[in-house]
Amino acid sequence: MEAYNYTDIQCPPPESSEIELCRILYSEDYLTNMGYMRGIMSKNEYSERALALTEKIINVCAAHYTVWEYRYNIIKDGSNHNKIIKDELIWSENIILENPKNYQVWHYRQLLIIELVSKSSDDYNVEKEFELIDKSLIEDSKNYHSWTYRTWLTKHFKLYNDKNLSFINSLLKSDIRNNSAWNFRFFLLVNNPENYIEQDRKSIINGLVLQKELKFTENAIELAPQNQSSWNYLIGIYEKFNLDINNLKGLSLKYSNFEDDKISELEMQPIISSVHALELLARIYSSSKTTVDKAIRAYDLLATKYDPIRVNYWKYLSSSLNTT
């Protein structure tokens, strides 16, 4: 990094040193740089040396939002705008990979992309952003910040393409319990305009897409019946598209032999391979008067046998059946 001269800058004094409470013992270096930074900011100097200074501070405290915002203002102000932003994108990539759980770095990148695209005359390919996001998700497949950025990018530029979905598929293939990937999958399914068809001037989900998605989910449940992510996804789809939850009775029974006649005769416990199947079954039973008794029995099994930590919740659901 080029050495700049800052000695001309008037540094406003930092904190009152009488205050001991939570006073951070900064290094001399940091104190000096922060002093220069305050001086530069107070006169709104947008310069190369100001830019260099923000980097020094960010390297020590990546969450310094004030400095990030100032850096953004410098970049926005600069001449040869597009070149600078492209350099900035390269620079911030490393900062992101070093601080993947930091709000500021990801948001800064979002500001840069908006800036670049809004003023750019050349066609910048925003899909290049996926390379960085993929890289960070391969490191930590549930990093909330990476997913937030991916969601924003996809939505902002309408990138509901197959490449996006195939990345999700690869993540789910390596870990079918990755709920972040399931959540993103839901987002793609619901928001991708290609998944809809026009009928009677109303936009409705394409039946083939829906069937394919339900099949995918059922396969995922088969792989790991106790995985709540896939059950939540399945129920989520049913609710979103107003499908009849009773259609899931067969699937639920597959993972809980609740209706096996021998069981009630011998008063045995049903064999269950998924608590979530039993829960869904209870919900289906609750919807009809003729099966309310079964629902109560299922909730009782959940409360006393299969899922005792939620005993209060199962009792609550069960009691609401008694009263109605």
Torsion of CA 177, 183, 184, 186, to 10 degrees: 120
Query: Exposed, middle or buried by CB within 10 Å (0-12, 13-18, 19+), for 258?
Result: buried
Task: Give, in order, the Cα–Cα distances in Å from 146 to each of 6, 55, 100, 141, 204.
Answer: 36, 22, 7, 9, 31
Cα–Cα distance between 47 and 70 in angstroms, integer? Answer: 11
CB of 140 to another protein, least distance (A): 10
Query: Quick one: which of 174, 206, 246, 247 contacts another protein (CB under 8 A)?
Result: 174
Task: Say whether residue 111 binds another protein (CB under 8 A).
Answer: yes
3 contributes a contact to another protein by CB under 8 A: no
> Which whole-number Å values give the CA distances from 82 to 116, 123, 179, 184, in the listed order?
6, 11, 37, 31
Among positions 72, 124, 196, 216, the unique one binding another protein when judged by CB under 8 A: 72
Nearer to another protein, 41 or 198 (CB): 41
Encoded one letter per residue, x for contact with another protein by CB under 8 A and - for no contact, window 131-150 reads ----------xx-x--xx--
The DSSP letter of residue 126 is G
Residue of 21, 193, 261, 322 interacting with another protein (CB under 8 A): 21
Q: What CA–CA distance (Å, rounded) separates 42 from 56?
A: 18
Binding flag, residue 169, another protein (CB under 8 A)? no
- CA dist., res. 311 & res. 207, Å (int): 39
Q: Which of 99, 123 has the CB closer to another protein?
A: 99
Q: Give the shortest CB-213-to-another protein separation in angstroms.
A: 13
Give the one residue of 45, 46, 52, 64 binding another protein; rule: CB under 8 A: 64
- Report whether 109 contacts 152 (CB < 8 A): no
Task: Give the residue, chosen from 49, 56, 86, 310, that forms a contact with another protein under the rule CB under 8 A.
Answer: 310
Q: What are the backbone dihedrals phi and psi of residue 238, each rounded to the nearest 5 degrees, phi first?
A: -60, -40
Distances (CA, A) of 188 to 147, 168, 221, 241: 13, 10, 20, 14
Residue 198, φ and ψ in degrees, nearest 5:
-90, 130
Is 306 among the residues that bind another protein (CB under 8 A)? yes
| Token pair in block for residue 16 | 């009152």
- Min dist CB 267 to another protein, Å, is 14
CB of 41 to another protein, least distance (A): 8
Q: Which is nearer to another protein, 103 or 124 (CB)?
A: 103
- The Cα–Cα gap between 298 and 302 comes to 6
Binding of another protein by 155 (CB under 8 A): yes
Could you say which of 107, 167, 252, 286 contacts another protein (CB under 8 A)?
107
Stretch that binds another protein, among 1-9, 116-124, 260-268, 300-308 (CB under 8 A): 300-308
- Of 123 and 224, nearer to another protein (C-beta) is 224
Query: Residue 91, interface with another protein (CB under 8 A)?
Result: no
Give the one residue of 45, 93, 134, 175 binding another protein; rule: CB under 8 A: 175
Span 213-272, contacts to another protein by CB under 8 A: 223-229, 232-233, 235-237, 239-240, 269, 272
Cα radius of gyration rounded to whole Å, the chain: 28
121 vs 242, beta carbon nearer another protein: 242
